[in-house]
Amino acid sequence: MSLNLHPSHASSVPSSAHFAPGAMMSMTPRSKPVVSLASPQAQAATVWPSGDVTERQAIIHGLSQVKPTISPKYFYDERGSALFETITRLPEYYVTRVEQSIFERHGNSIAASVGADSVVIEPGAGNCEKARALCDRLHSTEFVGIDISTEHLQEAAKRLSDVLPWLRVRAIAGDITEPIRLPEDLPRRNRLVFYPGSSIGNFEPAQAVHLLSQMRAMLGEASDGGSLLIGIDLPKPVHILQAAYDDASGVTAAFNRNALDHVNRLIGSDFDSQHWKHRAFFNAECSRVEMHLVALHDMRVSWPGGGREFSMGERIHTENSYKYSLDVFAALLREAGFGQYQSWTDDQDWFAVIHARP
């Protein structure tokens, strides 16, 4: 199944195929450097964009919209992944801690629901710390971590394999919005797709259903015993959300701005991230936190072969983080082919861990 969607923003331009099963190098051919000879700076600044052609087209497409967008997947270069880890430890960012508390408090019940000997597949595995706790507890046999931030993942997979020597660990460079090719020899029985952290909230509901369907497809036949363990962030008082996405120490602001530095490297653009202000707010109508970058003054941003003007106050939409109620999310699960589920929440009903079966 093919899914050419970016988190948050449906786009007609497919993003690049990032995945290279079993290898940590991108198999995508890199393009030649692009230099606009018409530009007076061309001689001084030869630009060597590191992104491949399709990816560059997709990014430029997003930036060229009347309401410009950058996909939240561009938060996660090396620096962005490190900043995100810092976010997860911020006092205001309840998400990671509350989810963790649910796993601790209901660990037995969750483990009983999932069962032993599972083959854990985690899209967006990041530092693999959640996988470590899960695979340890569930006595999983194999783990497949998938992430776009490849070096980060590779190191994490190595650490995981060091602490859980009986676990077969594999790391795959991949973008979850692309069809992911799992290793040929991955057992079919008892697969568990693990998607914690409420990352599913980055997608519009229709995209979320596509992704969930894709996860459903990874599980094989219903008789193979596969299932999905997923975290979702529930609706809660707005001031809590506001603080979580606009923390006092400015880490989330730096995380947001870093997307511009990352995009500069991918398309050869000249964004000055210091000239953009972080903005986060809850959009009640859509039940989502939105993050934007706001231009601090009029400016022109150029990239090889093009560019655009931004006027003061103009925004680039960088992220949606949906806050689904259990009922709404259960309907998405059903649509994606998951007929049964069990869920666990914290005392305040801020977050839910859901175990779903076809």
Interacting residue ranges for ligand AVJ, rule: CB under 6 A = 87, 95, 197-199, 201-202, 245, 252, 319, 321
- Least distance (Å) between residue 118 CB and ligand AVJ: 23
Positive or negative: CA dihedral 326, 334, 126, 50: negative
- Least distance (Å) between residue 211 CB and ligand AVJ: 13
Pairing relation of β-strands 315-322 and 288-295?
antiparallel
Closer residue to ligand AVJ, CB minimum distance, 255 or 338: 255
Residues in Cβ contact with 56 at an 8 Å cutoff, skipping those fewer than 6 apart: 31, 49, 266, 267
Closer residue to ligand AVJ, CB minimum distance, 102 or 119: 102
CA nearest 308: which of 83, 132, 73, 63? 63
Closer residue to ligand AVJ, CB minimum distance, 109 or 348: 348
| Cα–Cα distance for residue pair 239/245, rounded to 1 Å | 10
Closer residue to ligand AVJ, CB minimum distance, 90 or 301: 90
| Cα–Cα distance for residue pair 127/185, rounded to 1 Å | 24
Closer residue to ligand AVJ, CB minimum distance, 198 or 343: 198
Residues in Cβ contact with 206 at an 8 Å cutoff, skipping those fewer than 6 apart: 10
- Least distance (Å) between residue 124 CB and ligand AVJ: 8
| CA distance readout (Å), 21 to 55, 85, 173, 174, 177 | 19, 25, 7, 8, 15
**CB–CB of 300/307 below 8 Å?**
yes
Closer residue to ligand AVJ, CB minimum distance, 30 or 89: 89
